[in-house]
Amino acid sequence: MVLYCLGIESTAHTFGVSVATDKGEILSDVRDVYTSAPGTGIHPREAAEHHSEVAARVVSQSLTQAGIRATKLAGVAVALGPGLGPCLRVGATVARALSSYLQIPLIPVNHAIGHIEIGTLTAGASDPLVVLVSGGHTAIAAFSGGHWRIFGETEDITLGNLYDMFAREIDLPSPAGPEIEKLAQKSSGFISLPYVVKGNDVSYSGLLTASLAELRSGRRLEDVCYSMQEVSCSMLAEAVERSLAYTGKKELLLTGGVAANKTLQSKLSEVAKLHDAAYYVVAGRYSGDNGAQIAWTGMLALRAGVVAEIDQARVRPKWRLEDVDIPWRDEGAA
Amino acid sequence: MQPKLIYKGAEAEIYLEEWFGKPAIRKHRISKAYRIPELDEAIRRMRTSHEANMMHEVRKLGVPVPTIQHIDLESSTLIMDYVNGPTLKEELYRLSMHGRRERCASLGVLLARMHEGGIVHGDMTISNVLSEGGKLFMIDFGLGDFSKETEDKGVDLLLLNRAMKSTHYAFHTVLFNAFMKGYVSIAGEKQGKEMLHKMREIEKRGRYFERG
């Protein structure tokens, strides 16, 4: 018998719903994304209003696309954090209602763990050193002792923040990674910018300030984009190299929204090569936030008995990934 | 004497060679294919000079380090005196319990001098301490920095404790206690307590777990 799990993602700009099976198939993946005007960031309340408006339609489309009835579901999973409170509450409310109405378990999922699990599933990795890069995360993690452990991370803003905050200042639309990548290709020269690696950690706030200052001083936008991208990705590559040498992991997995960046991909593949590690990237369509990462992680959690009582399934905007118990994963090669 | 590669790390290669008739160590920071040349060269140059500078500052605090003979920023290379002796990690295997305590207490004195002087090592393990006839030398200041933060000093202590645990499990408590005795003799009881507290707090975050 096949088990079906519905997953709901609403941590930031994306409201996504998906159905996954216990065989690791993603039967549906429907998303509706809130977009802010160029030059402005995500407004939590407006994003939450967007999510409320589209929720019912996205849920029903997702079930239709999967070709199953709601009564066939074994559980409903929801990303309870980390993320923006107002946005999280929309997903949580929908999940509680479905769980209560259908009399099926409610499964709490950590959004970051979702990025990791959909990455290992779609790329085919088993026990990787994970590089999670998105609007909310820039972290290097490895699994040990029932938890994902953070080896390195940003000390201030994330790589996604760096690109988005830079873009906002110059009225580019968000998420800005792809646009910055395009501009960088038209660059004609490198500008020296602050490169800050502290052990396995990186710091991007100085790079943001310096990049904006260079732009205001009259440098070409293309050159600033190129240099900022080179420096930020090289910094992360170095931190990853240190972590890889330290842990001795033989797999490297890149996942999260910024995983789509080609410069970052090529640098990390060089790092993997230097340490004889196999290199994996999350399947392109699952790099950005989506319901499938929640549905699949929910399925893994459900099979391991991780469920929440409805009245205890509260949102956790600051939920750190190393605090999540992971009873479904083997110790692997570590 | 032909240069001989004696260690290859993620960032640098270490050669044993001759410098004006005497054995010397050449530390060469290697180029990384994942960085564009302009950036790669600037970083290696900056770090070579930073490491030399840290070693100079540490020595002023009364902490023995190999004497730097030559700095070549063009090739991001440091040439320094060869310390003729094993790492503390190796030496601890063959010492008596009394000798072990003595060495670790000496290390405690050295690290406390650094910390009190506002410098943290950043990669504090017993593999980064050499012993020449019982005199300890600190090496590898690539991650060293000026810092008076309890957090940074706590990381030094934590990494050291972890290194003792992973290689000398049977008596690592003796080693660390002896180290703390030396540390406290310079930094004081109050500071010692604060550091231990900080170390446990950092440990609980679970980041610096043992490899392998």
Q: Coil, helix or strand for A228?
A: helix
Identify whether A175 is preceded by a cis peptide bond (ω within 30 of 0): yes
Instruction: Determine whether the interchain pair B34/A271 forms a contact, defined as Cβ–Cβ distance below 8 Å.
Output: yes
In this structure, are residues A253 and A281 in contact, taking their beta carbons and an 8 Å threshold?
A: yes
Catalytic hit among B123, B140, B145, B152: B123
Q: What average pLDDT score do residues A81-103 get? A: 97
Quick check: B122 contacting A, CB < 8 Å? Answer: yes
Quick check: B74 contacting A, CB < 8 Å? Answer: no
pLDDT digits (tens, 9 = 90+) for B61-80: 999 999 999 999 999 999 99
Tell me whether 0.90 is exceeded by the ipTM. no
In this structure, are residues A136 and A113 in contact, taking their beta carbons and an 8 Å threshold?
A: no
pLDDT digits (tens, 9 = 90+) for A237-273: 999 999 998 888 999 999 999 999 999 999 999 999 9
- Low-confidence winner among A43-52, A99-108, A163-172 (lowest mean pLDDT): A163-172
Quick check: A149 contacting B, CB < 8 Å? Answer: yes
Domains of chain B plus CATH, in order, are 4-81 (3.30.200.20), 88-204 (1.10.510.10)
Give the best residue of B30, B31, B32, B34 to mutate against chain A (max A CB count within 10 A): B34
Give the best residue of B35, B145, B162, B203 to mutate against chain A (max A CB count within 10 A): B35
Residue B205: per-residue pLDDT: 72
Q: How far apart, in whole angstroms, are the C-alpha atoms of residue B195 and residue B156?
A: 10
Q: What is the pLDDT along chain B (212 residues), one digit of tens a residue?
A: 789 999 888 889 999 999 999 999 999 999 999 999 999 999 999 999 999 999 999 999 999 999 999 999 999 999 999 999 999 999 999 999 999 999 999 999 999 999 999 999 998 999 999 999 999 999 999 989 999 999 999 999 998 998 998 888 889 999 999 999 999 999 999 999 999 999 998 887 766 554 43
Domains of chain A plus CATH, in order, are 4-116+289-323 (3.30.420.40), 127-285 (3.30.420.40)
